[in-house]
A and B are shown apart, each in its own frame.
Chain A
Amino acid sequence: MVATEGKNYLDPLVLDKIKKLDVRARLVVEGFMTGQHRSPYHGFAVEFATHREYSPGDELRHLDWKVWSKTDRLYIKQYEEETNLKCTMLLDCSKSMRYGSGVDRPGMSKFDYGATLAACMAHFMQQQQDAVGLVTFNTQIQRNLPASTHPSHRKLIMHELQQTEPDDKTDVGNVFRDLIQQIGKRGMVMLISDLFVDLPTLEKSLQNFRHARHEVVVFHVMHDDELTFPFQDNTLFRGLEMDIDLHIEPRALRKSYLETVDRFRQAVRKACSVNGIDYVLLNTKEPLDAALSSYLAFRQRTSRMKHRF
């Protein structure tokens, strides 16, 4: 049931209609989960908790053979599941993230898309008992919800995501320097932003996260308009973050613009790959599962790495 309908919920156009972020996130995650071959519910790290007596039906592989050899009794080993991942989502809430929320423009704004993504992640990770934290920022940290596994924490995150109004510019330099100290313990850092920042500063900041032994995923949220530049007629472009008006003929500039955008993306991608950072480009037009699957891929990789260590 969910399998047939769930896919639809991944479409941003549909999701946009669901105003409650919590519901939205659940729909996305469950819709995404359905049909996955491997259940992600296996814990990654398990610590011994206690023994209990064997009762028929228990799995034999969990028998503690050492105890049996000493006592000739059958005991089952019990493990305590433990959060081994602390994930902090950094959501850009600068003005530029507002783009795409116009009345004449279907679909989500970049911020909505990013917020939905964040909500989905929070929902998803909570289900896996991972600790999730949220930081909204623009020129400075707007709100910092430290990572927690507590069930009510998710509600808090959802509320915060729904509350936040994008404003002001993005300034990763200062914000991230502060954040690195605040997050402290190594974990996972998810940057959700349109990355309209100074490229060297960004690179530097990302490097700093890596130095602090954080796993970093960059979700580069771009609006479809920004990626394809579909404008035809004479247009006055008003800067959202910059106070500049530009009256141009879009057709004449499309090629050049797209080249510029592409160059920038390549630079970011290169900076990421050099630092071992996952870079995921998200088009607001495309379904969210792309974001989720990339996250999944990341998790599997880190899990393998863990086993190797």
Chain B
Amino acid sequence: MLQFFSGFMTNPGLFLAGAAAISVPIIIHLLNRRKFKIVDWAAMEFLLEANRRNRRRILLENLLLLMMRCLAILLLGLLLARPFMNSDSLSRIGMDSVRVHRIVVIDDSPSMRVQAAGTTKTGLEVAKSAVIELATRSAAKASDDYLTIRLTSDPEHKLYDGPMTEESLGDIEQRVNGITPSDTRAKLDATLQAIEKSLLGKGDATNYAVYVITDLREGDWVSPEQVDEEEKISSVVKRLAEKISHEGDKTPRVAVLDIGGDEVENLIITSIKPTNNTVIVGVEAEFEVTVFNAGERPVDEVEIELVIGDGTTLKETIGHIDPQTSETKTFRYVFQDPGPVRVEAALSGADRLPIDNRRHYAARVSVGRRILIVDGDPSPDEEQTESYFVERALAPPGDYPSGNVIEVMAESEFDTLVLDDYAVVLLCNVYKLTEHRIESLEAWVAEGGGLFVALGDQVDKDSYNDLLYKDGAGLLPAKLEARQGDETHKVWANPTPASLNHPVMKIFSGDLGIVTQFVKIFRWWSVSLSEDGTIPEGVSVVNHWTDADQSPALVEKSFGKGRVLMLTTTVDRGWSDWPLDQSYVFMFQDMIHYMSRRDSDDGNAIVGLPIEIQMDSSKYKDEVEITDPANEKEVVLSDPDSSGRTLELIYSKTQRHGFYQLKLSRIADSTKDVKLFAANIDPHEGRLVRVSREKLTDSIGEEHVSIQQGVDSLAKGDESGWSELWKWILAAAVLVLCGEQLMAWAFGRRR
């Protein structure tokens, strides 16, 4: 029975209770009959006469009153049960008062700039005019409908939230017309979840209608990489739809309005980046520009322009790109001056989605990597110094710039040096380090510095083990045990061909593995990685010697954000003849690339993700001037971190693609350092592949969500809904109660 009533009322239980309570007036009546006064009456005859004449009338009146009271109770129960009816049937009997809360979600992702199916307007324009039409119609109808507009680029924010009346129409139009396509991905799931949250605790019987105006791009609707952390969009849609649907609803409450065209032909510049991560003055920089053909047909003759700085334009052409494949073109350019440079790649031809034919790169041109070599075994004879070969390997003499700026110093000088500006520090056969040096060195490595330690006969084993190894807690990846090998250089070991594809060992990998045979290692330090022979976390053996014990040759350890690499032999000819082999140069060049201190921000981000920078609070003021792609300037204050030494700035208003320039004011001389960031739109946006409606319907289910082509149903806004009847019942109950009172009064008065 409850089941039956729940089809058209919110609390059927209360109705049944009300029905049961009908007996209350009857019981009261019976109880009243039981309670009476007794009067010994003399004028009985008159009374009998009166009674005889009136008995029938009184009975009738009493029955009528009882009926009214029962009806009042029943209506009260019905009122509390809050019945509702389909507005269709209501409108048929002229009681239509359906009030719909319309929630319009507009997908304003970059792909909405593509022309909508069957029109000359973009998808977003179609969506905008549909919303305005809806508002205009609702205002003209003077309906009670309520409108909420949300954009997928800004899930928590309601663009508009209010009624649709003549007065508010101007406001709605102004707000809707102000929508511009954003550069960020559509955050559909977050938007729908925000709607769901906002509906929490709202009454059951409100009629909600959610419209999602979208082009159904796969990138927005399917997010396979996020399935684990976040919910699938389809399941969010489904849950929302179930939540706002009424029992026995015939029409779905959530409509996905598809305005996307099926044309998918589009070229995208998916990336632009220098082949080496650093761009150095005077060194020829290579920029790789990757173009992806997101369409279904091959494209020929794709012309790419690379604009560097303010003027220089480089042009290259990619001859042929197959569908769904990427082609890369390399641009070469030599920067003459250090500093941030804007690099922008663009496809010269127009296509369906022009916004992704352009990509930005904030190149930070530096004068070179500063590399410090600490020489533990200097000698008057230049070739005998420990650093002789390594210095030349890192910066080979000649016309061709290496990009490395080398400094060599002795242990004593090194002791108090500030390391901040160095990319890599090499300790070559250093005797020992002081404790405070080690402390600052640890901090520097933890911040991202690269430390290369080469051993040798000068090394003080105990000091290294106590202060640098620290039972695994220090910088050194392994504990020194003993010197091995043949002092007479009669017997030697070789490095092993690289089995791991480690960047430092590129020279020994693959076919080049035979090169290892030309490298003779006569002596080395045997090391132990741990007490029990296991390899601790963060430590890896990059290469072994070919001796019987397979002694570690290169051991790497991650330390904070930086790395430490230990070579168990010397870098000069003392213990090996490796410096005489070509592979020595390659190994060190690769090592420098690998070990170079890298900035936490490489200056390139996706639109919508915040720009984060950290500044030394002793050097910079806390105010930062930011110029956004639209050339609007804003001064933002950074916050000190917990230690107070670093200022942190998180700038999240990166809603536009293009360059963001940050000017940092130095405290000392009030000059300004310029940092450049580039925000690009997600290249996935350009993949115009659409989710097939069938697939979407399968995953969401047809019951609660309808997926429609075009925006017609929104503009019409004429779906039916449940109307609450409580107003009518309340009126009826009041009427009945008033009638009862009137009747009781009238009956009482007449007697």
Please list the residues of chain A having a beta carbon within 8 angstroms of any beta carbon in chain B.
95-99, 102, 110, 194, 196, 223, 226, 231, 233-242, 244, 246-249, 251-257, 259-261, 264
Are A247 and B36 in touch, CB under 8 angstroms?
Answer: yes
Are B48 and A246 in touch, CB under 8 angstroms?
Answer: yes
Give me 16 A-to-B residue pairs in the complex whose CB atoms sit less than 8 angstroms apart, sorted by A's number.
A96-B42, A97-B42, A231-B39, A233-B37, A235-B38, A236-B36, A236-B39, A237-B44, A246-B51, A248-B47, A248-B51, A253-B50, A253-B54, A255-B751, A256-B50, A259-B50
Residues of A within 8 A of B33 (CB): 234, 247
B49, CB-defined interface residue at 8 Å: yes
Chain B interfacial residues counted at CB < 8 A: 27
Task: Produce 1/0 per residue, B540-583, CB < 8 A to A.
Answer: 00000000000000000000000000000000000000000000
A96 to B58, CA, bound (A): 28
Task: Produce 1/0 per residue, B219-231, CB < 8 A to A.
Answer: 0000000000000
Given A95-B42, A226-B43, A252-B58; 15 other pairs, CB 8 A cutoff: A98-B42, A99-B40, A102-B40, A196-B42, A234-B33, A235-B38, A238-B39, A246-B48, A252-B751, A253-B47, A253-B54, A254-B751, A255-B751, A256-B53, A256-B54
B35, CB-defined interface residue at 8 Å: yes
B748, CB-defined interface residue at 8 Å: yes
Residues of B within 8 A of A98 (CB): 40, 42
Contact partner, B41, options A238, A252, A255, Cβ 8 Å: A238
Residues of B within 8 A of A102 (CB): 40
B residues 232-264 in Cβ contact with A at 8 Å: none
Are A196 and B751 in touch, CB under 8 angstroms?
Answer: no
Do A236 and B37 form a contact, CB below 8 Å, given A248-B51, A256-B54, A257-B50?
A: yes
A235 to B58, CA, bound (A): 15
A236 to B44, CA, bound (A): 11
Are A261 and B43 in touch, CB under 8 angstroms?
Answer: yes
B92, CB-defined interface residue at 8 Å: no
Identify the 9 closest CB pairs spanning chains A and B, nearest first: A256-B50, A96-B42, A99-B42, A239-B44, A234-B36, A257-B50, A237-B41, A260-B46, A252-B58
B202, CB-defined interface residue at 8 Å: no
- Please classify the interface of chain B as helix (H, G, I), strand (E, B), loop, or mixed, using the class held by over half of its residues: helix
A279 to B153, CA, bound (A): 103
CB of A39, distance to nearest CB on chain B (Å): 40
Residues of B within 8 A of A257 (CB): 43, 46-47, 49-50
A237 to B47, CA, bound (A): 9
Residues of B within 8 A of A231 (CB): 37, 39
Contact partner, A234, options B37, B41, B43, Cβ 8 Å: B37
Residues of A within 8 A of B32 (CB): 234
Residues of B within 8 A of A97 (CB): 42
Residues of A within 8 A of B40 (CB): 98-99, 102, 238, 240
Residues of B within 8 A of A253 (CB): 47, 50-51, 54, 58, 751
B residues 694-751 in Cβ contact with A at 8 Å: 747-748, 750-751
Residues of B within 8 A of A242 (CB): 44-45
Are A194 and B42 in touch, CB under 8 angstroms?
Answer: yes
Do A252 and B43 form a contact, CB below 8 Å, given A234-B33, A236-B37?
A: no
B300, CB-defined interface residue at 8 Å: no
B296, CB-defined interface residue at 8 Å: no
CB of A225, distance to nearest CB on chain B (Å): 8
B641, CB-defined interface residue at 8 Å: no
Are A99 and B41 in touch, CB under 8 angstroms?
Answer: yes
Are A252 and B42 in touch, CB under 8 angstroms?
Answer: no
A84 to B51, CA, bound (A): 49
Q: Which residue of A lies closest to B54 (CB)?
A: A256
Q: Which residue of B lies closest to A248 (CB)?
A: B51
CB of A66, distance to nearest CB on chain B (Å): 62
Task: Produce 1/0 per residue, B596-629, CB < 8 A to A.
Answer: 0000000000000000000000000000000000
Task: Produce 1/0 per residue, B10-41, CB < 8 A to A.
Answer: 00000000000000000000001101111111
CB of B517, distance to nearest CB on chain A (Å): 123
Contact partner, A196, options B38, B45, B750, Cβ 8 Å: B45
Contact partner, A241, options B44, B51, B58, Cβ 8 Å: B44
Residues of A within 8 A of B751 (CB): 251-256
A155 to B356, CA, bound (A): 133
Q: Which residue of A lies closest to B45 (CB)?
A: A196
B171, CB-defined interface residue at 8 Å: no
Q: Which residue of B lies closest to A238 (CB)?
A: B40
Residues of A within 8 A of B39 (CB): 231, 235-238
CB of B60, distance to nearest CB on chain A (Å): 11
A201 to B41, CA, bound (A): 23
B204, CB-defined interface residue at 8 Å: no
Residues of B within 8 A of A244 (CB): 44, 48
Are A223 and B42 in touch, CB under 8 angstroms?
Answer: yes
Residues of B within 8 A of A95 (CB): 42
CB of A262, distance to nearest CB on chain B (Å): 10
Q: Which residue of B lies closest to A255 (CB)?
A: B751
Are A252 and B44 in touch, CB under 8 angstroms?
Answer: no
Residues of B within 8 A of A194 (CB): 42-43
Residues of A within 8 A of B58 (CB): 249, 252-253
CB of B486, distance to nearest CB on chain A (Å): 128
Q: Which residue of A lies closest to B747 (CB)?
A: A252
A235 to B670, CA, bound (A): 104
A246 to B38, CA, bound (A): 10
Residues of B within 8 A of A235 (CB): 36-39
CB of A219, distance to nearest CB on chain B (Å): 16
User: Which of the listed residues A98, A196, A223, A253 has the most CB atoms from chain B within 10 Å of its own CB?
Assistant: A253
B383, CB-defined interface residue at 8 Å: no
B61, CB-defined interface residue at 8 Å: yes
Residues of A within 8 A of B41 (CB): 99, 237-240, 246
Do A233 and B36 form a contact, CB below 8 Å, given A253-B54, A255-B751?
A: yes
A149 to B44, CA, bound (A): 40
A254 to B44, CA, bound (A): 13
Are B46 and A236 in touch, CB under 8 angstroms?
Answer: no
User: Which of the listed residues A95, A241, A249, A251 has the most CB atoms from chain B within 10 Å of its own CB?
Assistant: A249
A92 to B53, CA, bound (A): 30
A97 to B35, CA, bound (A): 28
Q: Which residue of A lies closest to B53 (CB)?
A: A256
Q: Which residue of B lies closest to A256 (CB)?
A: B50
Task: Produce 1/0 per residue, B50-66, CB < 8 A to A.
Answer: 11011000100100000
Are A234 and B44 in touch, CB under 8 angstroms?
Answer: no
CB of A108, distance to nearest CB on chain B (Å): 14
CB of B32, distance to nearest CB on chain A (Å): 6
User: Which of the listed residues B36, B45, B54 has the most CB atoms from chain A within 10 Å of its own CB?
Assistant: B45
